[in-house]
Amino acid sequence: MIVVDVKYLLAFALVASLSACGGSSGGFDQSPESVTGGASSTSSSSSSSSSSSSSSSTSSGGENNSSSSSSSSGAGTSTSSSSSSSSSGTLPGSSGGGTASGSSSSSSSSSSSSSSSSSSNSSSSSSSSSSSSSSSSSSSSSSSSSSSSTGSSGGNQNAVGLDNPFVGAKWYVDPVWSAKAAAEPNGTLISGESTFVWMDRIGAIEGPADGFGLRDHLDEALAQGADLFQFVVYDLPNRDCAALASNGELRISENGFARYQNEYIKGITDVISDPAYASIRIVAVVEVDSLPNLVTNMDVADCQEANGSGGYRDGIRYALDALAEIPNTYAYLDIAHSGWLGWSDNFAEGVELIGDVVESTAAGWDSIAGFASNSANYTPVQEPYLSNPNLQVGGNPVRSADFYEWNSYFDELTFVQDWRAAMIARGAPTTIGMLIDTGRNGWGGANRPTGQSSSSDLNTFVDESRVDRRSHRGNWCNQHGGVGYRPQANPAPGVDAFVWVKPQGESDGISEADFVPDPNDPAKQHDPMCDPDANNTSNSAVGTNAMDNAPHAGRWFPEAFELLLNNAYPPLQ
């Protein structure tokens, strides 16, 4: 295990503002709280010793491909405009609808086991009666930076060798998801935004006869005039090894690694390497929640197997090597979230393990553009009223509250900035960037606090001050969150983009234990963390807070979509 040197855990100023582009569905609120940077967890402020161990992770939630028919109404592209940011302590509000604005530690916890995660995927193979939608966005030129993120040079120079592929890009809008969103009440407020497409099984690459596969999406991107396409690589053998809702089709013991190589990864690269798509910046988030499971869940048999030959390390190494051969592809390796790898032991071990995997690839650090955090999870970008984890309340530091369990990272922004600094300290180039999934971590609505609590009781102080309204940070399945910051480039130092990895309205997992198997993904099971009447598997003192009547992971869940809109922050307009 490495120790993260204090001199490398840098504090970064936040961005004061970003310009908002005109949107396809109206402007969004531009006034989130002005803060000085989340729950700061730089190493200079973490001297207390833990008196309680952190809860162990049950890992991730659901994934899928919903295959219900939905008609495309002609979604436009999301356009990023380049604007420089000044750092005076605020995050941007959001871009207008359909746009994405762009501009150029650890605690000393004694136990440090993860408090769980969330993976969940959206449907890439849902059917759509329209295969093309004209772009309503104007063309914007690429803002090319100097250093190459992945692979060798070649292809369209507007798509190759960019420090940040999101800057200056026209972001693809998935017409399948967009049509579903637009059909819901007030859904047009976000239906023009860009979301990731999940390749969560071999069959999703080709897609159903009446729907969209990977090539269909890329053809649609060309039709829209988009030059940024985002998708998720998610089909490792023994996938989701510490949970049940998103179990995958491949097993290590059943020749899973060979199938992953020859049927899944090759199937993807055969499509995205087509010269017809050389002008598109193809962004891949790679294997959500996988390597973090090897940090915290080695007491689970499936994870033990995934830690061996033909498992997660071998699979991700192979995937990164294959993607790096395609010069207009940018891979971001998933690192879970601050509520999983935030404890000092987990953080250090995660940096070591994940760094080792990257360095073991043929291209080394050139195999990735950066890392992705909070994929399909709910952890807020910032906790505006809990900026100091060592603030003393009732004689105890805030981080020792029941909700934080001695984890000094309360938010994603501080976590990803420190993670990036730690990776640079071990040899990563300074060009690496971070992604934060903000699709469901807005935590707005009537229950959002408007200021810091005045209570002298530690737990009351935290509960009344935190915007994250979950009963436990390990609750990952169908939570009562809200739409967060809209997709945008360069929202904060070191962060390439806020993105929507998990499309709103897609379930995290089925709520009923007595269920009919998903016909596309029969391996998906009922996970107790998706049962609204169950207790958290890591802490039986609290419930799961999962929504009732939820379908299988990735299937359309209109009640969840409505709730996310109602709880959006910044509010939707």
Could you tell me which residues come within 8 angstroms of residue 7 by beta carbon, excluding any fewer than 6 positions away?
A: none
The residue annotated as part of the active site, out of 227, 240, 527, 531, is 240
Residue 476 annotated as part of some ligand binding site: yes
Residue 506 annotated as part of some ligand binding site: yes
Residue 197, classed as helix, strand or coil, is strand
Could you tell me which residues come within 8 angstroms of residue 236 by beta carbon, excluding any fewer than 6 positions away?
A: 248, 250, 260, 287, 290, 306, 311, 312, 315, 316
- Residue 301 has φ and ψ, to the nearest 5°, of -60, -45
DSSP state of 174: -
Annotate 232-250 with DSSP letters as a single string.
EE---TT-STT-STT--S-
Beta-carbon count within 10 A of 134 CB = 11
Closest to 145 measured CA to CA, from 112, 126, 167: 167
Q: Rounded CA gap, 501 and 492, in Å?
A: 18
Per residue in 482-501, is it b (16+ CB within 10 Å) or e — as a string?
Answer: bbbbbbbbbbbbbbbbbbbb
Beta-carbon count within 10 A of 154 CB = 12
The residue annotated as part of the active site, out of 508, 518, 527, 531, is 508
Q: Is residue 46 within 8 Å of 514, Cβ to Cβ? A: no
Q: Rounded CA gap, 71 and 69, in Å?
A: 7
Residue 29 annotated as part of some ligand binding site: no
Could you tell me which residues come within 8 angstroms of residue 203 by beta carbon, excluding any fewer than 6 positions away?
A: 65, 125, 520
DSSP H/E element including 223: helix 214-224
Active site residue 463: no
Could you tell me which residues come within 8 angstroms of residue 75 by beta carbon, excluding any fewer than 6 positions away?
A: 133, 173, 174, 175, 178, 179, 191, 192, 224
Q: How many whole angstroms from its chain centre is CA 467?
A: 19
> How far from each other are the two terminal CA atoms of the chain, in whole angstroms?
48
Q: Rounded CA gap, 250 and 231, in Å?
A: 20
Active site residue 299: no
Residue 337 annotated as part of some ligand binding site: yes
The residue annotated as part of the active site, out of 235, 289, 418, 521, is 289
Annotate 520-554 with DSSP letters as a single string.
S-TT----GGG-TTSBPSS-TTSB--PPSS--STT
Beta-carbon count within 10 A of 253 CB = 9
Active site residue 518: no
Catalytic residues: 240, 289, 508
- Annotated binding site for substrate: which residue ranges? 198, 200, 337, 340, 377, 476, 502, 506
- Annotated binding site: which residue ranges? 198, 200, 337, 340, 377, 476, 502, 506
